[in-house]
Amino acid sequence: VYFSPDKSYVVAFFRDNQNYQAKDRLVTVVGAYRERILNQVGGEYWKNLFCWPYALVEHNGKLGVVAPTYQKQFFFEYGSKNNDFLGIKGKDKEGKWFASPTNRNRYIDSRELGDWQNHIRIGILISRAVKRLHAAGLAHSDLSYKNVLVNPINGAACIIDIDGLVVPGKFPPDVVGTPDFIAPEVVMTSYLKKDDPNRKLPNINTDRHALAVLIYMYLLYRHPLRGDKVHDMDPQKDEALSMGAKSLYVEHPTDTSNRIKVANAKPTELPWKDTSKIPYTVTGPYLTPLFQRAFIDGLHEPSKRPTADEWEVALVKTIDLIQPCQNTSCDQKWYVFENTTKPKCPFCGTPYKGKLPVLNLYSSRKEGQYLPENHRLMVYTNQSLFQWHTNRNVFPNERISDAQKKREGYFVLHNNVWYLVNEHMNDLMDVTDFNNKKVIPVGGKVELTEGKQLLFSRQEGGRLAVVQLVDGK
C-alpha cells in the first residue's frame, strides 16, 4: 500500500496476479456498484461508512486499486498504555483492539476506549452499512473486526476491504472469511472443492452471521461460540468442529456444555467471560431475542438469522433504553435500564438511586386510537426528545433530513421534580384528563408524574407517551 504525496488517497497493489474474473469484479466494484451506492441521492452519507475504492491502476504488471485514505479519527491518537509501549499510535483502529477484554484492560490507553453507548452506536453504523450492501444484492464476504475500523471515542465506524464483494451468480467470493466470523456452514464444507455444489461459500446469510458476532463482541467483549467444550484432541479438528458442525452458543439456555469456565479465564478477561455475571440479556429486550435467533435458531439454519435491518432497528431502540451509570468510575458509563427488578448497572454493580421517568410510547393507526409500540424512552438529565420519538413515521437513519434531526425538547430534574421542556412541539398536550386537556406551549414545561399522558403530535404517526415513575431507593 502506497500513500499519495498529499496523503489524501492510497494505491494498494495485489501481491498475486489477478485473473480475468478478478479484474472484472474490480472494474464493477469501482464503477457500477460505487456509482449505485455512493453517487446517488444520499451518497455522501455512505462515503463515511465505506472506504470504497474508486479507480484501478496497473504498474509493472501488477494490478492495484485507488482508495481514499482512512479518516483521521480511525487512527490511534494515544495508542497503548505506558507511553504507547506497543507502538500503535498513528496506526489504524482495527476493531479487534476494542472487542477483547484483555486488550482493553491491559493494552489500550483508556482515552481510546469510549463507552458502552458508543459501542451501541458502532453497531448501528455497521448494521446500516451492511444493510445497504445487502439491499444492492452484494455480500461483503469477509466481514470481521479486521475489516471494520471503529472509533469508540465518538461511536464512528467504517467498512474497508470492499474489493472482495460477492455478487451471487456473477462474482463468487475470493476468500472464505476471517476465523471467528466464518459461518458454520462455510467451515463445515471448506474441505470441498470450490466448484462442488455442496460447498457453502460466503453470501448474504453468512454476512448476517458475521454481523451478529461483531455486535455481540462489541457489546460483551467475548466470542459467542468460543466456550470450553472440547470436541477432538487434535487442535485443528477441534477448531473445525467448534466453529462448524458442532458449534454451540456459549449461553445456550438448555445445552450448557459449551459454557465458558470462569476458572480457566485470565483475570484480565473478567468479568466479561463470566456469563453468569454479565449475560447477553444485559443488552436489553430488543437485542436479546436477536442474539437468540442468531446463535440458537439460526446458527445452523442460515435463513433464520436476523437481517442487518433488524439489528439496526433493535440497536436504535436500545439507545433509548440506556441510562448513565451513577458511578463516575464505571468503565462502561452506560447500561440498559432494567426495572423489573431493583435497577443497577450490570457492569459495576452500582444501584440506581432516585426517581426516574420512563416514557412508554404509543401511536395511532386510527384517529383517537393508540396502540403500544414496544418502544420506551428512558429519561435522564438533559436527555433529548427528537422527531423519531414523537412520530413513528420518522426513523433516525441515512434518509433523515436536517429538519428532522432538530431537537424537539429535553428533560431536566429540578428540585427533585422531573420536567419535559418543550422546544419545538406545536401540538404538545397533557391529555391525562380527557375532559381537561392542557396545551404545553413552545417554551413551556410539563411535570412528569406517574400515569401522565402526553400527546406529542396530532400529525399522522404522532405518538402518545404514558409516564411511568420508577423509584430506585
Distance CA 149, CA 379 (A): 31
The Cα 468–Cα 473 span in angstroms is 16
If you write DSSP's letter for every residue of 384-407 in order, what string do you get?
A: EE-HHHHBTT---STT--TGGGS-
At residue 237, what is the residue type?
K
Per-residue model confidence (pLDDT) at position 110: 95
Residue 198 three-state SS: coil
Q: Give me the pLDDT at residue 20, please.
A: 86
Q: Is 445 helix (H, G, I), strand (E, B) or coil?
A: strand
Q: What's the confidence (pLDDT) of residue 465?
A: 97
Q: How far apart are CA 156 and CA 125, in angstroms?
A: 7
| Cα first-last separation, the chain | 58
Domains in the chain, please, with CATH? 1-69 (no CATH), 94-319 (1.10.510.10), 353-472 (2.60.200.20)
H/E stretch holding 242: helix 235-243
Classify residue 300 by its DSSP letter.
S
In contact, 202 and 134? CB cutoff 8 Å: no
DSSP code, position 87:
-
Give pLDDT tens digits along the chain (473 positions): 999 999 999 999 999 888 888 899 999 999 999 999 999 888 999 999 999 999 999 998 899 999 999 999 999 999 999 999 999 999 999 999 999 999 999 999 999 999 999 999 999 999 999 999 999 999 999 999 999 999 999 999 999 999 889 987 788 887 889 999 999 999 999 999 888 999 999 999 999 999 999 999 999 999 999 999 999 999 999 999 999 999 999 999 999 999 999 999 999 999 999 999 999 999 999 999 999 999 999 999 999 999 999 999 999 999 999 999 999 999 999 999 987 778 899 999 999 999 999 999 999 877 767 899 999 999 999 999 999 999 999 999 999 999 999 999 999 999 999 999 999 999 999 999 988 999 999 999 999 999 999 999 988 889 999 999 998 77
Cα dist from 111 to 81, 151, 415, whole Å? 10, 11, 34
Distance separating alpha carbons of residues 156 and 32, to the nearest angstrom:
27
315 is written with which cell numbers? 440497536
Residues 6+ apart with CB under 8 A from 150: 74, 93, 95, 98, 122, 156, 157, 158, 218
Query: Using CA atoms, how far apart are residues 210 and 13, in angstroms rounded to an integer?
Result: 27
Instruction: List residues bridging with 462 in a β-sheet.
Output: 391
Per DSSP (E only), the strands in 391-473 are 409-414, 417-422, 429-430, 438-439, 445-447, 453-455, 463-472
- For the entire predicted model, the pTM comes to 0.96
CA angle 336, 341, 343 (to 5 degrees): 45
Q: Find the helix packing angle between 116-135 and 308-319, rounded to 10°.
A: 150
